[in-house]
Amino acid sequence: MLKSSLKKNWLNRVNDINALIMNKPDQVVYINEDKCRNSYSCVRVCPVNALEVRSERKHPIIISDRCIGCGLCFLSCSPKAIEYSSSLGKVKDLLQSGRKTAAMVDPSIASEFDDITDYRKFVGMIRKLGFDYVHEVSFGVDLVAYSYKKLFEESSGKYYITSNCPSIVEMIEKYHPTLVPNLSPIVSPMVATALVTRDLYGDEVANVFIGPCIDIKSEAKLYNDKKLVEAVLTFIEIRQLFEEHGIQEKGVKMAEFDPPFGNWGALYPYPAGILQAAGIKRDIVSSHVITASGAEDVKEAIKDFDHHIDTIRHHFNLFFCPGCMLGPGMNRHDERFRRRSLVKQYAERRVEVLDKKQWEKDMKRWSELDLSRTFAANDQRIPEPSEEAVNEVMKIIGKEHRADELNCNACGYGSCREFASTVAKGLAVPEMCHTYNLRNKQEYIETLRQTNKKLSETKKALKESEEQAMREKDTAQDASETMNSMLNKLPNGVVIVDNDLKILHSNESFLNIIGEDARAIAEIIPGLRGADLKTLLPFNVYNIFSFVLRENESVISRDVQLEDRMFNISIFPIRQNRIAGAVIRDLFSPEVQREEVITRVSDVIDKNLDMVQKIGFLLGEGASDTEKMLNSIVESFRQKKIEPGKKAGQ
């Protein structure tokens, strides 16, 4: 794991952002986790690293504050897990509210609705949904285009970036905040058209924009306080409304847009269409405006503007998509040149029937509108991690040496080091690296092979162990049956109990000793297993069992009386303080009587012999002492009979 303090600080910031995301119901673009399959295609295409992947989270998430709403993730996600906030419910409510509603339609309809034979049919379908007014945004484009022309002419050496595309605006505000003063302070064509409809119908009119863009939903929210644009429908959503209401081209009459009508603003879907609408020169020598479109060209253009504008000395007209005729809110995103042709043909037809004098009057009238706007820096840049942190990631993904850096772009980043830097920032995980995954996969396969081998060996050993256990079980069962058979043939009663005096085993002779009640119980519970000994034997008997279990001492050959019969009982511990066994003999049985008589006569004989031996020993000791005493007396008597002066024996 990376230990860079910089990374930790920014991870904490990202965590705070994540907490906000989870409670942010108005997030425009988000991930539906039920559909997400973790392909990471969204992460790879995001131009600003607004998606975060973390090992402890099941799926990536979109960091709303970093997102610029460009829609590349939406287009790249094959499981359709990337979704954007729907405005269908809001629009339905507006249409049923009783308020006057105005639809503002982007001129990109020529590119999207090529299946509708005449634009007037499309206008008729919009009106059938319940809209009171239907305006084409091309007139708003004309107003904005001429504002740009005036701005460029009066720039006096300051160079601007057009602000029509909301994704471009957000990219600069968040990732190039020093260029915010260079954003053209002019509203977008959508807002300009909304200002016109408000002037026509009053502040109560509900404006709904219909177009190819997703992030324009975010732009509309900037004017929530004025309710200037109350809802935004993508072309995908308007098709859904048509389908829900069963509205088809063949079922509607032709209808015309409401005035004022646009002029060459109908070319707005072209990246350079707004310049054409303003009459700004576009030739290489005399033009002072550079147009760039598409993610890669736009990123490079902004970078060059930032570092070399004093050399370039041109205004930049930028669109994140390859023109609005291929916006993310459209059903299809192919056949670019065919769509260009459709837009061109549509614009030519509109201009051909345009009343130029009326258009000039309309332009003069609404050019007095305040089309200015302001911007604010919203710096979302993450400081670059230390070289140490990047190298640590490079080591993790197996790129310790320059020769290891393949720069294959499979991760979606320009180079291995750029990817490592993003991982160090906490916005990606090493698993997004193709070669890292391949290496891990090979290691996993080898580990799996070794595991399977060990599992096979374990299974074999387990089978052998199981067979051995079965053999031992059979042997034990045979031994148990043999033991039971032997015990049942013994003439003496045998009983084994646990420390609670519960019977573990007993034989037939024990049942005979206990009586008929025990036999009745044994018919239900073989061997009286589990029966309480205290209920079968009197206190003086089972108390001996308790003593043996408690003291772990044997009690051998104790005579006890049960009712009118005498028994001899020997109790001994089998497992200390846990199990005890007893052998009970019926002293009245002939076999026991004969054995007992022999045993006891033998005991008497042994005792008598012992006593005789002791008596004989004592008598022997006494005779010896007596002999010695008598010999001493005789010797003394002999000495007295010797005459004085003579020696003995003379």
Q: Which of 33-47, 123-137, 277-291 has the lowest mean pLDDT?
A: 277-291
Q: How confident is the model at residue 69 (pLDDT cuts 50, 70, 90)?
A: very high
β-bridge mates for residue 61, sequence order: 52
pLDDT of 26 reads 65
Query: What value does the mean pLDDT take over residues 484-504?
Result: 83
Q: Give the bridge partners for 105, in sequence order.
A: 136, 210
Closest CA to 433 of 402, 393, 380: 393
Q: Of 52-56, 97-101, 360-364, give the lowest mean pLDDT range.
A: 52-56
Asked if domains 87-155+187-273+326-366 and 489-587 share a fold, the reply is: no
128-132, 185-189, 257-261, 433-437: segment of lowest average pLDDT: 433-437
- Is the predicted pLDDT of residue 634 greater than 70, yes or no? no
Q: Which of 396, 402, 391, 389 is nearest to 435 (CA)?
A: 396
Domain 489-587: assigned CATH number = 3.30.450.20
Query: What is the predicted pLDDT for the residue at 197?
Result: 97
Q: What is the mean pLDDT of residues 207-222?
A: 95
What percentage of the chain exceeds 90 in pLDDT? Answer: 47
The model's pLDDT over 73-130, given as tens digits with 9 standing for 90+, comes to 999 999 999 999 999 999 999 999 999 999 999 999 999 998 888 899 999 999 999 9
Candidates 545, 584, 547, 552; CA nearest to 565 is: 584
In this predicted structure, the answer to whether residue 646 has a pLDDT above a threshold of 80 is no
Over residues 264-281, the pLDDT tens digits come to 999 999 999 999 999 887
CB atoms within 10 A of CB 52: 23
- The pLDDT of residue 617 is above 70: no
In this model, does residue 543 exceed pLDDT 80? yes
User: 87-155+187-273+326-366: what fold?
Assistant: Rossmann fold (3.40.50)
Here the tokens at position 629 are 């005493």
Is 625 in a helix, a strand, or coil? helix
Domain residue ranges in the chain: 87-155+187-273+326-366, 489-587
Instruction: Please tell me the predicted confidence (pLDDT) of residue 389.
Output: 85
What backbone phi and psi angles, to 5 degrees, belong to 149? -60, -45
Q: What is the pTM of this model?
A: 0.65
Please say whether the beta carbons of 69 and 57 come within 8 A.
Answer: no
pLDDT higher at 439 or 28: 28
d(Cα 245, Cα 243) in Å, to the nearest integer? 5
DSSP symbol at 532: B
Q: Mean pLDDT of all residues in the chain? A: 84
Average pLDDT over residues 247-276: 94
Give bridge partners of residue 134 from the DSSP assignment.
Answer: 103
The answer on pLDDT for 15 being more than 50 is no
Residue with more model confidence, 15 or 587: 587
**Given this model, what pLDDT does residue 533 score?**
84
Burial 270-308 (b: 16+ CB within 10 A, else e): bbbbbbbbbebeeeeeeeebbbbbbbebbbebbeebeee
